[in-house]
Amino acid sequence: AQTVTQSQPEMSVQEAETVTLSCTYDTSESNYYLFWYKQPPSRQMILVIRQEAYKQQNATENRFSVNFQKAAKSFSLKISDSQLGDTAMYFCAQGPYGGSQGNLIFGKGTKLSVKP
Amino acid sequence: DAGITQSPRHKVTETGTPVTLRCHQTENHRYMYWYRQDPGHGLRLIHYSYGVKDTDKGEVSDGYSVSRSKTEDFLLTLESATSSQTSVYFCASRLDPYNSPLHFGNGTRLTVT
């Protein structure tokens, strides 16, 4: 069975500093995708970044980057120069490439608080 | 986003009553999903659809049914609401099961009293 584990229920960081959120997963698929979603207090689910498992290069989107370690099945999210607007729940998700379902498996989330 | 609208945004209902939540998307996405979000559980899949009239169960499907008569609409029905179904419900859609991300609606907060 596919699983996604986020071991940090809550984290906090000072504004302008860097924080890393952890995510590990388990899958028997050889090709798959990984995603980080952000959920601010507005409840909206926002895609932050995605990583194709077959790519060795880590994905980057502005201040957000990932450290993808395929052998260790680890997919951490680094937020640089943290801003107050980064305060949110962050969910890691994993899904196979293709298949009839197309579902993503989500972790339980990490609540990030950015302090001024 | 992908133009996904959920209705209602909030609902309070009594135990034992039927409830239908609606999801409408304007992106012609083939795949649609219903998740529930509960503290400490993240998002869990209730049902999904991979085409018109093609649906299947997810991880937590007991007590729920779905229907998809048109590409753009995906309905979630609680046949007889229970307090354990108090939750936030998210609809999502996806173009394909490859590298396209899930696009989410804004959620429905359902309270069963």
Residue B33 near chain A (CB below 8 Å)? yes
Categorize the per-residue pLDDT at A97 as very low, low, confident or very high, splitting at 50, 70 and 90: confident
Interface residue B92 vs chain A (CB under 8 A): yes
Q: What is the pLDDT of residue A29?
A: 85
Query: Which tens digits make up the pLDDT trace of A105-114?
Result: 999 999 999 9
Spatial strand order of the sheet with B64-70 comes to B4-7, B19-25, B73-78, B64-70
* Cα A2 → chain centroid: 16
How much is the pLDDT for A35? 94
- Out of A102, A107, A109, the one facing B31 most closely (by C-beta) is A102
| Cα nearest neighbour of B40 on chain A | A108
Residues of A within an 8 Å Cβ radius of B? 6, 33, 35, 42-45, 47, 50, 52, 91, 93, 95-104, 106-109
CATH number of the domain residue A65 falls in:
2.60.40.10
Boundaries of domain holding A24: 3-115
B97–A109 CB contact, under 8 Å: no
B99 CB within 8 Å of a chain A CB: yes
- Of A101, A105, A110, A111, which to mutate for an interface test with B (greatest number of B Cβ within 10 Å)? A101
pLDDT band at A100 (very low <50, low <70, confident <90, very high): low
Quick: pLDDT tens for B13-59.
999 999 999 999 999 999 999 999 998 899 999 999 999 999 999 99
**B78 in reach of chain A (CB within 8 A):** no
Q: What's the number of domains chain A is made of?
A: 1
The domain locations on chain B are 4-112
A108: nearest CA partner in chain B: B42
Task: Please give, one letter per residue, the 3-state secondary structure of chain A.
Answer: CCEEECCCCEEEEECCCCEEECCEEECCCCCEEEEEEEECCCCCCEEEEEEECCCCCCCEECCEEEEEECCCCEEEEEECCCCHHHCEEEEEEEEECCCCCCCCEECCCEEEEEEC
Mean pLDDT throughout A55-63?
92
Which superfamily does CATH assign the domain made up of B4-112 to?
Immunoglobulins (2.60.40.10)
Q: What percentage of chain A exceeds 70 in pLDDT?
A: 98
